[in-house]
Structure 1
Amino acid sequence: MTNNHAAVTVIGLGAMGAKMAETFLAAGHPTTVWNRTPGRATHLIAAGASEAATAAEAVAASNLIVISQLDYAAMDDSLQGVDISGRVLVNLSSDSPDRLRQSSRRATERGATLITAGIMVPPPGIGQPGAYSFYSGPREALETHKPVLEALGRVDHVGTDPGLSMIYYQAMINLFCTTLVSYFYSAALLGAAGISAEQSRPYAAALLADLTDDGPMGFLKILAAEIDSGSYPGEENNLHMMAVGSEHIVQAFAQAGLDTTMPAALAALFARTDADGHGLEGFSSMIETIRKPAR
């Protein structure tokens, strides 16, 4: 059987794992599935999957084992006592970077190879244009199974350190979540003044477009260059001015009778950066404070 139609086992049939199994089946891969809680595989069996009775049976069915569970402890529990020697485990579950490193060492001790991964789309996006995942671990093992994994989306190998995939994943999820929560706060502030989310949406969209524009004036491009160079010019827009403005934002939320948790946290970060002597530097100098956690 060629790699283009190689067999794969999927362990974990929550929304993410079930969609992965569906996607492998649709791409022509013989797919074995197993879930700790029975009864999750009915629709997959109807689509052509084979349901294993035990985790050991599931692992024995394929050289490639794709895992999508709550965390890495779930993998350890599922595979306890199972012979995984010679198998390549690709775990797309969430956990801490150090936990991934520990699991990689344990897998090696048991004769298996662990490739860690973070998938950057929700279940409906799996296998769709634009879908991708961060992978880290042994490149050779990943390359061997890349044709199968590409059914899920683009395969981005970010390094051999098993923790790197989760660092990339969590960095992007942090950006995603904090951006959206910031939007919720802004929508609430405007809503308190009788302005609908739809009325303000074009302004939010234009601001996000300015942030991500790849031209010479794109904010992210400018800030990334400043961070990498360690130079934070503030002649035109210094951090002290932003620190003062951030306090005004907190006051606006308080006066509107809204929660101030996120605006207050941002104002505190600005204040610490200002107190650390970066007041006359630019906005990006805040990264120096982030690199030195508050004691």
Structure 2
Amino acid sequence: MTDTDLPKRPLALLGLGDMGTVLAHGWLAAGHPLTVWNRTAAKARALAPAGARVAESAAGAVAAADLVVVCLLDDASLDSALEGADLTGKDLVNLTTGTPAEGRARAAWARERGARFLDAGIMGTPAMVGVPGSGAYVFYSGSRPLFDRHRAVLEVPAAARFVGTDPGHAALHDVALLSAMYGLFAGISHAYALIEGEDVAPKDLAPLLSEWLGAMGFFVGNAAERLTSRDFTTGVVSSLAMQVAGSRTLLRTAAEQGVGAGLISPYLDLMRERLEADPARHGAEDTVGAITLLRRGAA
């Protein structure tokens, strides 16, 4: 018997926003019996022609399957939707975006109601989910046996990565990667702002930006090694003192171009703070040491 011959596990999905809807289509296309619920009922009814069973209430959807996936607006929405639902014996998977603290609190909440729990963080946009090769995947944390039991179902719309039994770690990984993404977007936005009004076409700068940022990708591994060893001085190529001195040119150029430095100045300020705290000690360091200032008292 092959995997395609095995019975498809039924599940319930609560929440049919843009992400929930593409998840639903993925499971339906793979042949999984799916019960759906959404606060705006028309979104749930729209899936009926594709084979979804439409529940009249969130409690009704929960009752329809042992595996219950929730993909709502926020943590408060989950409280509201599941109020009064019987979760006893249910396997609850929370795809609602939240914080690590909310993931841990929700795991305790689920245990009190007799449910097993996985928290999750979706790394991808709705347009990426269900598309082979798009790079979309989902972080999961919490009950490892629960993850192993349902992994085949969870991986239908996007790849699954288990990141620990601490229920808060899926959200932690999610937010860490998204925070890095927004930092990258900030630098790219600043770069494009600098050339506004100049005889430099954005389309001409774009490949140069991509090439340069790719070359600077070494910082990810370098930072991990230095934060682990706490050695910020061995093998330094561009010292903190040199970088702080050079950053003044970045700020002067922004001023000359009439561009606000708000997107890059926080990081430049952090490097300067690290240097000024002890120039003799920190001047020869790699810039990674500045990260320790973000957790006050951790250096």
TM range (shorter): over 0.9
The 1:4/1:131 distance shift into structure 2, 3 A limit, reads: farther
The 1:241/1:167 distance shift into structure 2, 3 A limit, reads: same
Residue 73 of structure 1: how far off its partner (Å): 1.2
The whole-number CA distance in structure 2 between the counterparts of 1:261 and 1:289 is 19
Contact preservation (8 Å) 1:92, 1:118: yes
Residue 232 of structure 1: how far off its partner (Å): 1.3
Q: Which residue of 2 aligns with 1:135?
A: 140
Q: Per-residue CA shift, 1:115-147, capped at 9, x if unaligned?
A: 000010100111223321110001001111111
Contact preservation (8 Å) 2:186, 2:264: no
Uncovered stretches (5+) of structure 2, i.e. residues with no partner? none
Q: Which residue of 1 aligns with 2:13?
A: 10
Residue 186 of structure 1: how far off its partner (Å): 0.5
* Mapped pair 1:82 → 2:89: no
Contact preservation (8 Å) 1:133, 1:153: yes
Q: Which residue of 2 aligns with 1:215?
A: none
* Mapped pair 1:34 → 2:47: no
Please, which moves more after superposition, 1-10 or 284-293?
Answer: 1-10
Q: Which residue of 1 aligns with 2:149?
A: 144
Q: Per-residue CA shift, 1:208-259, capped at 9, x if unaligned?
A: 22133xxxxx343333222221111275311122122223212222221222
Q: Per-residue CA shift, 1:158-205, capped at 9, x if unaligned?
A: 001110000000001111121122101101112243312111112111
Structure 1 runs of 4+ with >3 Å offset: 1-4
The whole-number CA distance in structure 1 between the counterparts of 2:236 and 2:46 is 61
Cα RMSD, aligned residues only: 1.9
Q: Which residue of 1 aligns with 2:230?
A: 230
The whole-number CA distance in structure 2 between the counterparts of 1:2 and 1:79 is 34
The percent identity for this pair of structures is 34
Which AA in structure 2 matches 1:149? L
For residues 98-117 of structure 1, the aligned pairs below 5 Å read 98-117=101-120
Residue 4 of structure 1: how far off its partner (Å): 5.7
SS class of match (2:89): coil
Please, which moves more after superposition, 1-10 or 73-82?
Answer: 1-10
Uncovered stretches (5+) of structure 1, i.e. residues with no partner? 213-217
Q: What number of residue pairs does the alignment pair up?
A: 289
Of residues 244, 268, 293, the one that matches 1:289 is: 293
Please, which moves more after superposition, 268-277 or 17-26?
Answer: 268-277
The whole-number CA distance in structure 2 between the counterparts of 1:8 and 1:170 is 27
Question: Structure 2-normalised TM-score?
Answer: 0.91
Of residues 43, 46, 61, the one that matches 1:43 is: 46
* Mapped pair 1:246 → 2:247: yes
Question: Structure 1-normalised TM-score?
Answer: 0.92
SS class of match (1:58): helix
